[in-house]
Chain A
């Protein structure tokens, strides 16, 4: 598929918080109650449109298990956005956020947009972490916050797309250097003059602005 930009996302957080389910809901619009443990990293991709531009989100869904921590850390590099997920029904997953955040900040580029996600919002009766706590944590650490449900799909689209919007804004503001792939952003093959994907030399974004009506 042709795209204007490719954004690399990474999903991190404790095991069992629903990272893979969030990805599946976003890419396939379905929910799988029982999910195999993720080994290392799995991938998902979906095309979205922002500001009239086709953007491919390439999502790296990492394993939450402690054993894979050293491996998944090596994947942080070059991500433009991160979804840091906890489970609202398990306080320990919320308590580990600081460690995850430190990890992410240490191994990724400083401009990475991080979205904090309290997943399983459908399980209100089993809630252990108040929404306000999530909000406070996000505020304190300069993250965007959202409660989602991979099961009901509530806020799932928004979480992925709002993150993309923030990244896109940063590109517009010139914060991200789109020619540096370490930022997790690639210019789509449609911008290269040759037409081939292999030698995708960035020809720069298309004409900005444009007349109205």
Chain B
């Protein structure tokens, strides 16, 4: 049995009192209920009899029958069995007599076997029917429901449930049904016709048998093709014919063409049933999902709409949050910095730095105690070389070269003696693009602000990448020249820091030139640009500090 069924069972029990609780439980219990499966089922069996709403209970009942084993079935109805059993036998015989007398059992096999099985599923059995095959059950259920739907005189409570369910099945299973043979589609039209009230042989025959079934409540009866049964039946036929009114009209049909049609019709129904169950169960073992969807479990009905409402509310909330986040993220420095791979380069540089620091410590430990102090002093000296110089003033603006080229030149000059081939192209390219963007026409202060933050984050990410790459290259460099390296990186840091300040100034100048917008808003943007520029410089300083051990290790 599919585990999901027990979920429904369990839920159904609880749902009696609290649909909401049930719903919650159902959602959560996706896998942990299998342990309780057996006991749940037992409980359910017991409770189903005590439900106060017969219709719903019966509806649920019917579905349950798909999955439960015969044993529990018997338990469930055992009380009825005692009383209805004998009666059932009688009526069964009656019906059988009618048919077997007239038809000599010629085509009994196919048609009546189905009838025989019907009884098993929701009605107490007499002993002999216990031989019924379990797998055929599902189909029989559907077949029975079909019959019940069209039986106006049905006295069973199940009739309501089945009928309702059948419509759903028919509609949901359309795809499957269209694939059926003409015989089958004929069967469907028959079903539909009869449900409107137009009688036909098949239908009438079914009615007959159905009413037998109904009256008996517990009949299981319709004969198997055993000779013994038939004999018995034939002897009783005349005496026990309690629903002659219905059957007598039918008898002629049944006698002449009925059996044949009936057999064919039942085959058709069986095929529909099988196909329907196949379609329904496809990807949904035990029909758990569809049962939930159709609201066939009594407590589900009020909850379904609630689920939809909740889902809607949740979706709305998510949309709102998404929108907010999207807004915030557009100008969120850290996110942008991450998107430009600044964070990952910083992380890698950090890993490198940590590892190299450990190596330096190892070297100190491994060194002769008398030399340890020397090493520490050397490290200290390198660190001092890497201290940032006081802010100088000379902002020599070389008039003839473009600003990006000037930046490139300053960077090259700064790292001339580092002994590595430095790659500044990405930084220069970004600078060019930024300048181009700023030179375009009418831009709102909001747009300038957004681009400003993004530009700062991008330049910073590229700078951090430069430190990271430089550190990697220094570590594989064959001949180290610590003092030159320290000086070069310090100068480079000065140039990059200035570059960041330059970008910030470009954007704030642009913002200042906007006069037709809310002054306060514009000045807020300017303040934020400067704050983010400061943030950028901290990242760059941090990257430089992380590179320090990599410079230091060259000296020890």
Point out residues on A near B: beta carbons under 8 Å. 1-2, 39-41, 43, 45, 58, 60, 67-68, 70-71, 74-75, 77-78, 189-190, 195-198, 209-213
Contacts and interface: CB of A to CB of B under 8 A. Distances in A.
B338 to A, nearest CB: 6
Contacts, number: 67
A190 B334 CA distance: 14
Contacts of A40: 348, 468-469, 472-473
A45 B344 CA distance: 10
Nearest to A181: B347
Contact of B325 (A41, A195, A198, A210): A195
A21 to B, nearest CB: 19
Contacts of B332: 196-197
**Which of B27, B293, B338, B339 is the most central at the interface, judged by chain A CB atoms within 10 Å of its CB?**
B338
A39 B475 CA distance: 11
A116 to B, nearest CB: 24
Contacts of B20: none
A75 B471 CA distance: 14
B289 interface: yes
B210 to A, nearest CB: 33
B469 to A, nearest CB: 6
Contacts of A189: 335
B476 interface: yes
A72 to B, nearest CB: 9
A74 B476 contact: no
12 contacts: A1-B339, A43-B341, A71-B352, A71-B476, A74-B352, A195-B324, A197-B334, A198-B334, A209-B28, A210-B27, A211-B26, A212-B288
Contact of B473 (A39, A198, A212): A39
Contacts of A212: 288-289, 292
A131 B27 CA distance: 45
Contacts of B341: 43, 45
B556 interface: no
A39 B472 contact: yes
B509 to A, nearest CB: 28
A41 B472 contact: yes
A196 B339 CA distance: 14
Given A40-B469, A209-B28, 7 more contacts: A70-B475, A74-B354, A195-B325, A195-B328, A196-B334, A211-B26, A211-B292
Nearest to B292: A213
Contacts of B475: 70-71
A65 B190 CA distance: 78
Contacts of A68: 472, 476
Contacts of B351: 74-75, 77-78
A77 B344 CA distance: 13
A209 B292 CA distance: 16
A67 B26 CA distance: 58
Nearest to B335: A197
B345 interface: yes
A26 to B, nearest CB: 16
B30 interface: yes
Interface of B: 26-28, 30-31, 288-289, 292-293, 307, 321, 324-325, 328-329, 332, 334-335, 338-339, 341, 344-345, 348, 351-352, 354-355, 468-469, 472-473, 475-476
Given A74-B355, A198-B334, A67 B476 contact: yes
B472 A213 contact: no
Nearest to A70: B475
B126 to A, nearest CB: 40
A211 B476 CA distance: 56
A209 B472 contact: no
A43 B473 contact: no
B472 A43 contact: no
B27 A213 contact: no
Nearest to B339: A1
A213 B288 CA distance: 10
Nearest to A72: B472
B381 to A, nearest CB: 25
A142 to B, nearest CB: 26
Nearest to B337: A197
Closest 3 CB pairs of A and B: A40-B472, A74-B355, A209-B30
A210 B314 CA distance: 13
A40 B353 CA distance: 13
A197 B329 CA distance: 9
B151 to A, nearest CB: 32
B307 A211 contact: yes
Nearest to B343: A197
Given A71-B476, A197-B332, A209 B27 contact: yes
A2 B335 CA distance: 10
Given A43-B344, A71-B476, A197-B334, A213 B324 contact: no
Contacts of B352: 71, 74
B358 to A, nearest CB: 10
A209 to B, nearest CB: 4
A2 B325 CA distance: 9
A60 B468 CA distance: 14
Contacts of A1: 339
A38 to B, nearest CB: 10
A79 B86 CA distance: 74
A209 B33 CA distance: 14
A213 B27 CA distance: 11
Contacts of B31: 209
A1 B338 CA distance: 10
Contacts of A74: 351-352, 354-355
B312 to A, nearest CB: 14
Contacts of A190: 325
Contacts of A77: 351
Nearest to B345: A43
B348 A41 contact: yes
Contacts of A209: 27-28, 30-31
Nearest to A211: B27
Contacts of B355: 74
A2 B332 CA distance: 13
A96 to B, nearest CB: 19
Contacts of B473: 39-40
